[in-house]
Amino acid sequence: MARPKKTKKYIYRYAGRHTKLTEECVGKLEEAFSIGANVKQACFYANIHRDTFYTWIKSNPALSDRLNDVREKLPLQALRNIAIGLQGGIQPKGDINLSKWLLERKMSKEYGETIKLQDTGEEDDGVPKEDKEVINELHTKLKINLIERSREKAKKDGEIKND
């Protein structure tokens, strides 16, 4: 019996992929950038590859501007928090020390050098530095005193057991 003739197979023609550039994906990128994530972390959160992200940025300058604006939001909030703290009277929205830390970190990356913001003289709990130094000194003296007492007691116990 003769074999049937081979029919011409359907040739798949590449019509293009569906893009992942959706409002949901852009929203995830914005959310990640708004909390200070880097590009790698933001792409992981949005479930896209970094090359895809850079392609989108290159081909869509409006998206690039939008995401850059979101990136600047967190340092701007930190600056605002410090400004409110300096004005006094008004309660800042967040911790001023965390705001200083964030700004020092961002400025160091931008300018390539370590920048330390001037200290206000108070620690996190509102106790002045001078009081903290006195407290630390007292703690050190107490520790030394306790160690000496325990050594004296150990000597007396050792003498009593030896007799």
Give the pLDDT means over successive 10-residue stretches in the chain (163 positions). 64 64 88 89 92 90 89 81 73 73 71 56 62 82 85 78 49
Q: Are residues 66 and 29 in the same domain?
A: yes
H helical segments located in 88-128: 96-111
Neighbouring C-alpha atoms within 13 Å toward the C-beta of 136 = 7
DSSP string, 37-89: --HHHHHHHHT--HHHHHHHHHH-HHHHHHHHHHHTHHHHHHHHHHHHHHH-S
Q: Which helix H or strand E contains 3, and what residues bound it?
A: none
Q: Containing domain of residue 79, as a range?
A: 73-111
Domain total in the chain: 3
Residue reference for tokens 């959160």: 45
Q: Are residues 62 and 29 in the same domain?
A: yes
